[in-house]
Amino acid sequence: EHAFVGHNEKEARALIKRSLQQQNVPKFEVQLHPGESAGVPNLTLHLEETPSKPLIWNLAWVEGGLETKVKAGENQGRRLHHENVVREYLARRVEGVADASATLRVPSEANPQNLKLISWLHDPSTGKVLSATSVPVSTYLGNP
């Protein structure tokens, strides 16, 4: 296991590169399909192989390009920029199957151009993230 300070870009890139070279990580894809209700897509998970132990499938709608005008405190009068703000989140246990499904509301207050679905698998016994992917909301809305 490795830890690093977030502002150390060189170390972060080296750790990411090593992580991407790891073997035996679960390979998976997530697809979005129209759901029964507008703005609530069906999400499907497909793992290349059935996992040998339970995994947690995490889903989060995240929005970037946000700004906050600070009204008080040490940053008063400044504009703070925010990326990957979690708007909706869901976690599902996946055990003994290669396919799963879920629904997660697309946040109506979010700007669709700045929205994406981030999905990752983690080991519930260690908390270690094993694999991750992202899908832009434009894929679901039909605007690639």
* pLDDT tens sequence across 31-43: 888 888 887 888 8
* pLDDT tens sequence across 92-108: 999 999 999 999 988 88
Q: With H, G, I as helix, E, B as strand and everything else as coil, classify residue 13.
A: helix
Write the CB contacts of 46 (distance below 8 Å, at least 6 apart in sequence): 28, 29, 30, 31, 98, 99
CA-closest candidate to residue 118, choices 96, 85, 95: 85
* pLDDT tens sequence across 42-86: 889 999 988 889 999 999 999 999 999 999 999 999 999 999 999
What is the set of domains in the chain, with CATH numbers? 9-141 (2.60.40.2550)
